[in-house]
């Protein structure tokens, strides 16, 4: 399995996240270290534990965004979860062990996807033969003489040509398929089964194999169904499971967002189980074996990246044992007006590009002038200081307010709109006049 270099990871993240160089570097190095470790003698590799990271820093500065972008980038099993979604073992809800189960599931899906891609050509060929069997029959073996056998062969090749030219796509054929419309699974709640840590569907399939029914389909649809089915037949599911568990154990990454939120309120109130979640997380992060429906999985070498604003609670308020398992701390920088200008314009799908595209669909040509961008950034900065500092999230609010009249009037009014400093100042005045007279 090849791996991205730290520089490649950082430059990918740079396309979406402005600044925060230290956080990007830490994340990139941690990812590369998984790969480095894998090259070593297994004896040594066993003792090299992942360097788990905590990304701390004020709200709205890109912590979650880094996690989100990494999910798209990595070809490794990656799970992004919110610590607040879990409850202490014994309480109603998902317990943290499902993190390991979901990671395995994710890894196996990843391996299966790769396996399917590797057999896609063979699956297409096999599906074509099956489709020809349905269309012209496969009765060559019943032919009474060579002549008839040749005729059958010719019919088949003619049909093959028409099939490939998509001439038959709209014709209807009958295909024998599993009847998935009623599965006995519905009796159980999804969460309950998942927590049993066993393969309930597999079990039910063995006890009561799915009913087979004949369905009428178009040739185009049947081709797709058969290709999927043949690909499933061609891949070795047991191998995929074994490889998936291995990948989850050795390359798996869990992005544990909102970790600070499970620090607060040990004791009374509705948060009574939060401290318990921390306690439950400890073995998972420290390394333990979790039963999954595919078999046991060790979390010893799973890389954990935690993120949190740590406003009310500091990383030091985490249980000491848990802190010890997160040797790397990176604090993200607060953002200033200069960062805001860049966030507005530079990222791949920056906000200004989003608005331009959205309004473009209604025929409004929206352009942002550099002085307009600067004014918006300065305004966001001012509001963050005067009201609450919500980081780059402020930009969403500011832009929405500034462009509200344009958004509302389109498509009836579709004159081009230029957002420059004058535009921003005009809008700010209008908004404060509105607020001044509004009875609040």
**Interface of this chain with ligand ATP, residues 343 to 382, rule: CB under 6 A:** 343, 347
Six-digit token string for 199: 């393969």
Q: How many CB atoms lie within 10 A of CB 418?
A: 12
Binding of ligand ATP at residue 64 (CB under 6 A)? yes
**At its nearest, how many Å lie between ligand ATP and the CB of residue 93?**
21
20 is a site residue for Mg ion (CB under 5 A) = no
Radius of gyration of the chain from its Cα atoms, rounded to whole angstroms: 29
d(CA 228, CA 413): 49
Least distance to ligand ATP, CB of residue 17, Å: 4
Annotate each residue in 203-242 with x if it binds ligand ATP (CB under 6 A) or - if it does not, as one string.
----------------------------------------
Candidates 66, 59, 65, 56; CA nearest to 384 is: 59
Which of 50, 62, 197, 252 is in the footprint of ligand ATP by CB under 6 A? 62
- State which of positions 154-173 bind ligand ATP (CB under 6 A): none
Q: How far is the CB of 209 from ligand ATP (least distance, A)?
A: 47
Q: Which is nearer to ligand ATP, 197 or 315 (CB)?
A: 315
Residue number, 59 or 323, with CB nearest to ligand ATP: 59
User: Which one of ligand ATP, Mg ion, none interacts with residue 393, CB within 5 to 8 A by kind?
Assistant: ligand ATP
Contact 244, 294 (CB under 8 A): yes
Residue 94 structure tokens: 């998902």
Contact residue for ligand ATP among 3, 20, 278, 381 (CB under 6 A):
20
54 in Cβ contact with 326 (< 8 Å): yes
Q: Which of 63, 130, 279, 325 lies at the binding interface for ligand ATP (CB under 6 A)?
A: 63
Contacts of 354 (CB under 8 A, 6+ apart): none
Question: 150: which 2 tokens?
Answer: 């040749």
Q: Which is nearer to ligand ATP, 245 or 307 (CB)?
A: 307
From the CB of residue 351, how many other CB atoms can be counted at a distance below 10 Å? Answer: 19
Cis peptide before 411 (omega within 30 of 0): yes
Minimum CB distance to Mg ion smaller for 211 or for 311: 311
Q: Does residue number 98 form part of the binding site for Mg ion (CB under 5 A)? A: no
Q: Helix (H, G, I), strand (E, B), or coil: what is residue 292?
A: strand
Q: Which does 116 bind (CB under 5 to 8 A by kind): ligand ATP, Mg ion, none?
A: none
Task: Tell me the window of 290-298, 316-324, 388-396, 401-409 that interacts with ligand ATP (CB under 6 A).
Answer: 388-396
By CB under 5 A, which span of 55-63, 132-140, 315-323, 408-416 interacts with Mg ion? 55-63
Least distance to Mg ion, CB of residue 309, Å: 7
For residue 156, the partner it binds in ligand ATP, Mg ion, none, with Cβ less than 5 to 8 A by kind, is none
In angstroms, the CA 256 to CA 79 distance is: 8
Angle of the 370-386 helix axis to the 337-345 helix axis, nearest 10: 130
Q: Binds 315, which of ligand ATP, Mg ion, none (CB < 5 to 8 A, cut-off by type)?
A: none
- Smaller CB separation from ligand ATP, 299 or 341: 341
**Least distance CB 226 / Mg ion (angstroms):** 44
Asked whether position 52 contacts Mg ion by CB under 5 A, the answer is no
Binding-site partner at residue 19 among Mg ion, ligand ATP, none, CB < 5 to 8 Å by type: ligand ATP
Work out the end-to-end distance of the chain between its first and last CA atoms, rounded to an integer number of angstroms.
Answer: 61
- In the structure encoding, which two tokens stand for residue 57, read together? 């820093």
Residues 317-346 as x/- pattern, contact with ligand ATP by CB under 6 A: --------------------------x---
Residue 381 touches which of ligand ATP, Mg ion, none (Cβ within 5-8 Å per kind): none
Paired strand residues for 172: 218
Cβ atoms of residues 81 and 255 within 8 Å: yes
Task: Please give the Cα distance from 76 to 340 (Å, whole number).
Answer: 32
Find out whether 212 and 175 touch, Cβ atoms under 8 Å. no
Contact 280, 95 (CB under 8 A): yes
Q: Does residue 64 interact with Mg ion by CB under 5 A? A: yes
Residue 19: CB minimum distance to ligand ATP, A: 5
User: Which among 75, 72, 74, 58 has a CA at the least distance from the CA of 23?
Assistant: 58
Tell me if 315 contacts ligand ATP by CB under 6 A.
Answer: no
Q: Say which DSSP state 381 is in.
A: H
Q: Tell me the two tokens of residue 248.
A: 């989850």
- What is the contact surface with ligand ATP in residues (CB under 6 A)? 17-20, 59-65, 309, 343, 347, 391-393
- What is the contact surface with Mg ion in residues (CB under 5 A)? 63-64
């Amino acid at each position: 399995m090849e791996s991205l270099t730290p520089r490649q990871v950082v430059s990918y993240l740079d396309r979406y996240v402005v600044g925060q160089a230290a956080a990007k570097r830490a994340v990139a190095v941690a990812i590369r270290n998984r790969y480095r470790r894998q090259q070593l003698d297994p004896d040594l590799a066993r003792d090299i534990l992942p360097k788990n990271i905590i990304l701390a820093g004020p709200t709205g500065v890109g912590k979650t965004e880094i996690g989100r972008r990494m999910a798209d980038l990595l070809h490794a099993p990656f799970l992004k979860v919110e610590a607040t979604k879990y409850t202490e073992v014994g309480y109603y809800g998902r317990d943290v062990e499902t993190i390991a189960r979901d990671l395995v599931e994710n890894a196996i899906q990843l391996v299966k996807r790769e396996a399917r891609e590797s057999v896609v050509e063979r699956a297409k060929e096999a599906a074509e033969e099956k489709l020809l069997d349905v269309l012209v029959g496969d009765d060559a073996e019943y032919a009474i003489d060579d002549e008839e056998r040749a005729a059958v062969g010719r019919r088949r090749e003619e049909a093959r040509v028409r099939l490939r030219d998509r001439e038959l796509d709209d014709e209807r054929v009958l295909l024998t398929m599993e009847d998935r419309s009623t599965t006995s699974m519905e009796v159980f709640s999804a969460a309950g089964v998942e927590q049993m840590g066993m393969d309930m569907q597999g079990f039910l399939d063995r006890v009561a194999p799915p009913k087979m029914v004949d369905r009428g389909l178009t040739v185009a649809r049947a081709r797709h169904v058969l290709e999927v089915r043949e690909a499933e037949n061609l891949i070795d599911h047991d191998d995929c499971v074994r490889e998936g568990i291995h990948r989850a154990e050795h390359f798996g990454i869990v992005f544990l967002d909102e970790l600070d939120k499970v620090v607060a309120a040990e004791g009374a109130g509705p948060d009574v189980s939060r401290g318990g979640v921390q306690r439950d997380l400890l073995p998972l992060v420290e390394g333990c074996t979790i039963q999954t429906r595919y078999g046991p999985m060790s979390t010893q070498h799973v890389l954990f990246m935690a993120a949190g604003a740590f406003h009310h609670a500091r990383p030091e308020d985490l249980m000491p044992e848990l802190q010890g398992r997160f040797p790397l701390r990176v604090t993200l920088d607060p953002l200033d007006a200069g960062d805001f200008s860049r966030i507005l314009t530079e990222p791949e799908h920056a906000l200004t590009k989003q608005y331009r595209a959205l309004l473009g669909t209604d025929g409004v040509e929206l352009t942002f002038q550099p002085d307009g961008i600067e004014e918006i950034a300065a305004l966001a900065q001012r509001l963050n200081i005067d009201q609450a500092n919500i980081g780059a999230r402020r930009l969403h609010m500011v832009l929405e307010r500034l462009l509200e009249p344009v958004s509302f009037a389109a498509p009836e009014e579709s004159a081009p709109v230029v957002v420059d400093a004058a535009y921003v100042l005009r809008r700010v005045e209008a908004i404060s006049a509105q607020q001044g007279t509004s009875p609040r």
